[in-house]
Structure 1
Amino acid sequence: MQSESQNGVKDGNESTKLLQFLCQIESLKHLDRKGWTIQDRDIDKPESVAGHMYRMAVMSMLYETDTPDVVIDRNRLVRLALIHDMAECLVGDITPFDGISVSKKHELELNAMTYLVSLLPEKTSDEFKHLYEEYESQQTSEAKIIKEFDRFDVMLQAFQYEQREYETKGRVIRFQEFFDSAIGKITSKQLVRMWDQLNEQRAQFWSKVQSSQQNDH
């Protein structure tokens, strides 16, 4: 009877912590990606951190390796995509404009992840912690691919906002800095092809905008 009672307490505590963990990460659903609202960007209803991670997870499922002899674990890609910004549920979306150093940002996020994984069963806690550390260290092929996904998703979202702002408000805003910052940092052949296509579509869009404005005058 004592063993059953102890197991009941253990199971109850574990369930309580799991619920606490899920409630903590829930804020990612509503946490705006702050980079879209600072300075003169001023995007209404910007994407959430969870939305950003979701599309990266889908990109991970669609990923094709460059060569047949290169083995990439797609399931690991998905896990890394869903882990890489998880700490923001506690520390928020820290941008370079917040005056927080890279080392301090890393410290805050590491402390947040340490707390979050403490709410999980030991095996899962170790897995989440190792995934976070893998992404931060950028030593594995999967971690490097996820970093490229992160950059590509920002560029894709930037173009979508450029289109939306012009088509709904007539507002001309360009997010060229996101495209410039990715030069030389996108190396996956699949992503390079999509990047070329994205740049082509973007150039065509702004060419049409320019022609339309000239005709109006």
Structure 2
Amino acid sequence: MKGKNSIIRDIQLLFEIGTLRHVGRVWHQFLGPYTANCADHILRVAWIALTIAKREKISDHTKILKMALAHDIAETRTGDVHYLSRQYTKRNEENAMSDILKDTILEHEMVELSKEYEERKTIESKIVKDADNLDVEFELAELRWMGHSLGSVWTKNREKLVYPHLYTKTAKELWKGIAKANPHDWHLLSPRNRFRGGDWKRK
């Protein structure tokens, strides 16, 4: 069956969403192979947004998660742009979202959430935008630990240009914490790793 709310269109949408793992974040051009793809980015944005929402005592987590999942799916058709290529490229993300979701069961809800996100007027949209910016900080921190000096340069610039525009107190706290954090503490300091609690532990 084709047409409005077609199961065929739902299947096509889900195949298209799967291609996000093949859509690279364009700073790969500057930083090489160790950068996230769009699917990686969207996943962590959703987790960051959920964390912010919980700390900000926002009750509607479902809306925030849906908005996070939708926020960059237009890039299956528009691709990503970085801070230089954006000056030469015009992308029609609104058309992309409309066409991606057309005649699917999710069309109305996700198109409206995408518009709300871009308008940045609601607390949910502000939280997701904060999460979007923070994912970049997480990745820059990871890249710095791998020895990429460019990450440090960008972090200094973003401290001046992005940090002041974060919307939530939690996002600002996370930003400062990321700058001081070791990306490997989650496993190095785990009480269950073999050094600390396993067969390599020395009494």
Give the shorter-chain TM-score range: 0.7 to 0.9
Which residue pairs with 1:155 in the alignment? 137
Which residue pairs with 2:39 in the alignment? 50
- Aligned pair in 2 of structure 1 residues 33, 199: CA closer, same or farther (>3 Å)? same
Unaligned segments of structure 2, at least 5 residues:
183-203
CA distance in 1, matches of 2:177, 2:55: 19
Q: For residue 178 of structure 1, report the CA deviation from its aligned partner.
A: 3.2
Which residue pairs with 1:214 in the alignment? none
CA distance in 1, matches of 2:2, 2:174: 49
Confirm or deny: 8 A CA contact 1:154 1:178 kept in the other structure.
Answer: no
Q: How many correspondences in the alignment?
A: 177
Unaligned segments of structure 1, at least 5 residues:
1-8, 203-217
Deviations 1:53-98 (A, max 9, x none): 10111123323244x6xx4421111111111101000111123322
Which residue pairs with 1:215 in the alignment? none
Confirm or deny: 8 A CA contact 1:20 1:119 kept in the other structure.
Answer: no
Higher Rg of the two aligned structures: 1
Where in structure 2 are the equivalents of 1:21-32 lying within 5 Å? 21-32=13-24
- Aligned pair in 2 of structure 1 residues 19, 26: CA closer, same or farther (>3 Å)? same
Which residue pairs with 2:171 in the alignment? 191
Deviations 1:111-139 (A, max 9, x none): 11110111403xx2110110010001111
Q: Which amino acid aligns with 2:23?
A: L
Percent of matched pairs sharing the same residue = 24
- Aligned pair in 2 of structure 1 residues 120, 180: CA closer, same or farther (>3 Å)? same
- Across the aligned residues of Structure 1 and Structure 2, the Cα RMSD in angstroms comes to 2.3
Confirm or deny: 8 A CA contact 1:61 1:78 kept in the other structure.
Answer: yes
Counterpart of 2:126 (choices 132, 137, 144) is 144
Where in structure 2 are the equivalents of 1:89-108 lying within 5 Å? 89-100=76-87, 104-105=90-91, 108=92
Find out whether 1:178 has 2:158 as its counterpart: yes
Residue 184 of structure 1 aligns to a residue in which SS? helix
Per the normalisation by structure 1, the TM-score is 0.72
CA distance in 2, matches of 1:86, 1:132: 10
Confirm or deny: 8 A CA contact 2:67 2:117 kept in the other structure.
Answer: yes
- Aligned pair in 2 of structure 1 residues 72, 185: CA closer, same or farther (>3 Å)? farther
Which residue pairs with 1:109 in the alignment? 93
Higher helix share: 1
Q: For residue 183 of structure 1, report the CA deviation from its aligned partner.
A: 2.5
CA distance in 1, matches of 2:86, 2:169: 35
Q: Which amino acid aligns with 1:15?
A: I
Confirm or deny: 8 A CA contact 1:72 1:141 kept in the other structure.
Answer: no
CA distance in 1, matches of 2:20, 2:2: 28
- Aligned pair in 2 of structure 1 residues 101, 57: CA closer, same or farther (>3 Å)? same
Per the normalisation by structure 2, the TM-score is 0.77
Which residue pairs with 1:212 in the alignment? none
Residue 47 of structure 1 aligns to a residue in which SS? coil
Confirm or deny: 8 A CA contact 2:63 2:124 kept in the other structure.
Answer: yes
